[in-house]
A and B are shown apart, each in its own frame.
Chain A
Amino acid sequence: MDNENSDTLVEEVANLTAYDAVGKMHRPEIKTVLLCCVIGILTVVWGLMGISPSLTSEIPVLTSHPGHSWTPTDLEQQKYIPEHLQALIDAESGELKDMEDPHEVRITNVQIIDVDGDGKNEVLVCNASQNTVIAYSYLGKKAFQPNLSEDSTPEEMQAEIQKLSESNGFEYQWKEILIGDSMVAPAHATVFDVNNDGQLDVIVSVLGNIMPSDELVGQVILFLKVEDRYERHVLLKDVRRVADVQCGDFDDDGDIDLAVAVFGYARGGVRLLENLGDLQFRDSSLLDRPGVIHVPVHDYDKDGDQDIGVIVTQDEEEVWALENDGQGNFSRRILYETDNYDVGGGGLIKVDLDQDGYMDFLMSQGDNLEFGHGWPMPYHGCVWLRNRGDWTFEAEMIGKLGGTYAAAPSDLDNDGDLDVVLISMSNDYANPQNPSVIWVENDKGRFEKQHLIARQPVELITVDCGDINGDGVDDIVAGQFRIPLSVVPDHPIRIWFKEERE
């Protein structure tokens, strides 16, 4: 570049700079400003048009109670197929265990109960894909050691980190006690000393098929504790799907009889197994109604004998009482009924919620297991049937949670009254904000405050409260039951250890 040209260029640049510096550079033309604004607005409009509308359920977001918290941990179940079945299918030793296939997650019942009579609670689990009843005894906790090696995949590493963060750095240790296997779909286990020998036995209600079926596939199996093992006795067969068995000396003859809830499908009912001694029982029908889930036994009218509460759920949606005359003869009473066939009764538990000396019921509503239709409904939640005496029960909705499947009472806030934990099977889980475990606070007999416990795991079917780790405070256990149509993480059994805050 020569000097003359160079000077001209410098002068032009200087002119431009000077012109811009005093003129349009700082005060642009109004047209330019307007055009820029229009461009900005149009960009925003164009962008907004690309955003999908927010399509989620209108469920209010729940928050945790600031004064109470829990440490969640999974109770991991080992793959288990009885050896005699492995032999039948010609599986070599360890072959089935090494296959990638897992058991489907179908926990049907969890309880916190002393199974072995040592004064400490176990977690008793009915598993309807493993077809087992197993008690898990808590051994303590130790510092979490991630199970990682050089070959660990990123997913495995992430899972271990997740476990570490969720368990507050602890690993919980358990001892498994196998009570029984090789029964198709155990629904419930009742711990009771049936033969009065001072040892706790386990009575298992066997569905025979976890899915709806009206065939004669149900059983009642007694696992009789003999020394350190359980002896198997089939007490009832050739009935429809059995969902619950409860004990009581109904005829006042000094031995234990059994009330049997036959869920069936379209046909079911309540049967009485009268104890004839020597593990012989004679069955008779007390009620013919389909969909009986639970038969809690208690002296509801305080007349000195054992009555039976019954929840009927298959379209009828009723709660019955079978009132005992003291001799084992029962008369029927309807305590509650609703025309809403869709409430989806999930179960009935007995609890004196207001502690007035009369045993009440808690009824969970929200079974929404119809094919692909699981959706929270305004009437899902927990109904308190308050026993006013003289066989009058008042119904009050005390908790709302979409897809409520089970309820468990416990004094969660340690204020001397009973609160209620609810779990959900079919909330709108496409929205991760929706809860799966909540508790309803008992505030001087009013149940208006609900608090979040957990959003995961989802698709829970059973819950119980009790002291698992012997610290004198109730913990929570819940079991998961996977519906075939939905993709959600597997956490078959989750425990929430209550943390005591200063």
Chain B
Amino acid sequence: MRKLHFILLAVVFGQIALIAMRYQGNGGFNGPVTSRVHKLETGFRDAVREIESDHDVNSVESWVELGGIYTTFALMPEAEYCFRRALEVGDLDLTQQFKFGICLSRRGKIETAIKILKPVGASQDKLASHANLQIGLDYLRLDDRGNAEIFLRRTKNDEIAEFALARILIRDDRAQEAVEILGRLIDRSPNSMRAHQMQGWAYEKMGNEQEARNCFDRSMHTSEMITIHPISRDWDEENVNAMGASVALTASTAALEEGDTETATRKAMDSFKLLEPLWRPAYAIQAALSFLESGDSDTALFYLKRWLIHDGESAYLWELVGDCYLAKGSEVEAEAAWLRGQLVRASKTVQANAECCRKLSELYASQGNALKAERYRGYHKYESGRLQWRDNKVREANYELTTAAEILGDDEDVWFLLAEVQRALNDRSAAKRSYEECLRLAPNHGRAIVGLGLVQ
């Protein structure tokens, strides 16, 4: 054999070695998966890339984990690919099979997802009920009410399934059974807004207007909400909270709770870097709180300015602006901010309106302005009463609002809410007086007119 052949053979063996190494690295002839993470913020993108680089191609668990991460971030082709590669490496256990089904369901391959999920649903596994729920929901997505009902009935004490089943029954002229299912749910969770609401719809379908109205009234002051949020959504949240900017944010929050303001501010700054190029107000709030707590009100105000530009005003923003000014000793500015915070209705941070009123009351009291202090104590009571009412704490709401009405007798909103609370407590005469007081101040108050009609 000539020297040239030796060289060529050496090259061939070298190539075979390289291919073997790549085969080993890839876990087969298929190339490595490269996800399209460019649509994610810096922290998530880096975290996903790190998981990809640590990925063990010969491990079913590793493929499933990666598939789960991709599913969370709606990188669906990547996710499906991972689960299929996992199947090439070995068998999926029931949990892994469930995750594969979730992936396909979210990818829009609903019929295939159902096939994958059925064995999990038929098993004795801890995820069986969850699988049956998902199958039921997927049949609903296919507009197959009959099969959906079968699988929703196979779930165990699952409120999402009970709501979905109740909806089917109401639409199917079997509202009485829906009333019973929702009744059992209310027995377990008396504060379930959705159960009261849907029971009202069931009564409405049955033509029982009185019971429908009662259910509606209860749904107005109960606050527990269950929407379609199955276990897979919890896994998404776990994934998101375990990577990227969320980790730094959580660390900052924990440090602030422990009084470690240095770590709190540092981690808050880190979280901004990981969030780039995106923005979320929770990060500005954490930065502002951390700097405010560390005595640096000006930097806290800087982050509140950024928040105002990005997202616009909110009650909590003005509460914190007021806190910053008070820390700086500027009472006039603090007062102005809190007054604005009282006007803008709070939603996510529902206590902000009440807090602004409380802080104003305390400020006026410290300034010796007893009249204003008392008035804002009344507003604080009113706002606190609203919060109690929304959480179905009717007696507590009654206490707060009664005090508020004593102070703010000229405010129709206070009288109206007090009347609603009194009606819920079945104190019809008190409710009647309060509605009438409201209507004296605002004769066209539509909801008070309806309420008065109900107690007369």
Give the B-binding residues of A (Cβ under 8 A): 29, 31-32, 35-36, 38-39, 42-43, 45-46, 48-53, 55-57, 79, 81, 85, 88-91, 95-96, 99, 101-104, 128-131, 182, 184-185, 208-209, 211, 213-217, 238, 265-267, 274, 276, 280-285, 288, 290, 315-316, 337-342, 370-379, 428-431, 484-488
Contacts and interface: CB of A to CB of B under 8 A. Distances in A.
13 contacts: A53-B33, A55-B75, A57-B76, A88-B318, A95-B305, A101-B306, A102-B310, A103-B312, A128-B312, A184-B312, A216-B386, A266-B194, A485-B278
B12 A38 contact: yes
Contacts of A99: 305-306, 309
Nearest to B390: A215
Interface of B: 1-2, 4-5, 8-9, 11-12, 15-16, 18-19, 22-23, 26, 29-36, 38-41, 72-78, 81, 106-108, 137, 140-145, 148, 164, 167-168, 171, 193-194, 197, 200, 216, 219-220, 223, 225, 227-228, 233, 236-237, 240, 277-280, 301, 304-306, 308-314, 318, 321, 325, 333, 336-337, 340, 344-348, 350, 386, 390, 413, 444-447, 449-450
Contact of B312 (A55, A95, A130, A487): A130
B19 A88 contact: no
Nearest to B413: A238
A42 B12 contact: yes
A245 to B, nearest CB: 15
B143 A282 contact: no
B31 A215 contact: no
Given A35-B11, A89-B337, A377-B108, 9 more contacts: A55-B77, A55-B81, A89-B305, A89-B308, A91-B305, A215-B390, A217-B345, A339-B143, A430-B39
Contacts of A316: 167
Nearest to B337: A88
Nearest to A238: B413
Nearest to A43: B15
Nearest to B445: A282
Given A267-B197, A372-B73, A184 B227 contact: no
Contacts of A42: 12, 15-16, 19
Nearest to A58: B77
Nearest to A215: B347
The 10 closest A-B pairs by CB, nearest first: A430-B36, A35-B8, A55-B77, A283-B446, A209-B347, A213-B347, A42-B15, A52-B34, A217-B345, A215-B347
Nearest to A482: B278
Contacts of A79: 309
Nearest to A82: B313
Contacts of A217: 345-347
B31 A53 contact: yes
B228 A315 contact: yes
B137 A341 contact: yes
A458 to B, nearest CB: 10
B19 A129 contact: no
Main SS class of interface, A = loop
A211 B311 CA distance: 11
B81 A104 contact: no
B40 A486 contact: yes
Given A96-B305, A339-B168, A371-B236, A281 B279 contact: no
A35 B344 contact: no
B73 to A, nearest CB: 5
B36 A50 contact: no
B5 A131 contact: no
A184 B305 contact: no
B108 A378 contact: yes
Given A337-B171, A339-B140, A81 B309 contact: yes
B309 A96 contact: yes
Given A53-B81, A88-B318, A375-B74, A484 B145 contact: no
B304 A89 contact: yes
Nearest to A458: B39
Contacts of B18: 46
A212 to B, nearest CB: 9
A32 B277 contact: no
Main SS class of interface, B = helix
A274 B107 CA distance: 46
B243 to A, nearest CB: 12
A383 B26 CA distance: 45
Given A55-B77, A130-B312, A283-B446, A214 B225 contact: yes
B168 to A, nearest CB: 7
Contacts of A55: 33, 35-36, 75, 77-78, 81
A38 B10 CA distance: 12
A352 B163 CA distance: 36
Contacts of A487: 38-41, 277-278
B39 A488 contact: yes
A46 B24 CA distance: 12
B6 to A, nearest CB: 10
B321 A49 contact: no
Contacts of A103: 309-310, 312
Contacts of B35: 55
B145 A211 contact: no
A373 B75 contact: no
B319 to A, nearest CB: 12
Contacts of A238: 413
B26 A375 contact: no
B49 to A, nearest CB: 13
A375 B143 CA distance: 19
Nearest to B282: A484
B15 A46 contact: yes
Contact of A49 (B29, B33, B143): B29
Nearest to B25: A49
A284 B446 contact: yes
B348 A209 contact: yes
Given A52-B32, A131-B313, A375 B228 contact: no
A463 to B, nearest CB: 22
A448 to B, nearest CB: 22
A298 B255 CA distance: 58
Contacts of A128: 312
A406 to B, nearest CB: 21
B79 to A, nearest CB: 9
Contact of A374 (B74, B240, B344): B74
A341 B163 CA distance: 12
Nearest to A377: B108
A35 B321 contact: no
Contacts of B390: 215
Contact of B450 (A45, A185, A284): A284
A52 B31 contact: yes
Given A81-B308, A185-B312, A373 B74 contact: yes
A215 B171 contact: no
Given A267-B219, A341-B164, A487-B41, A215 B350 contact: yes
Given A88-B337, A267-B220, A372 B22 contact: no
A46 to B, nearest CB: 5
A49 B27 CA distance: 10
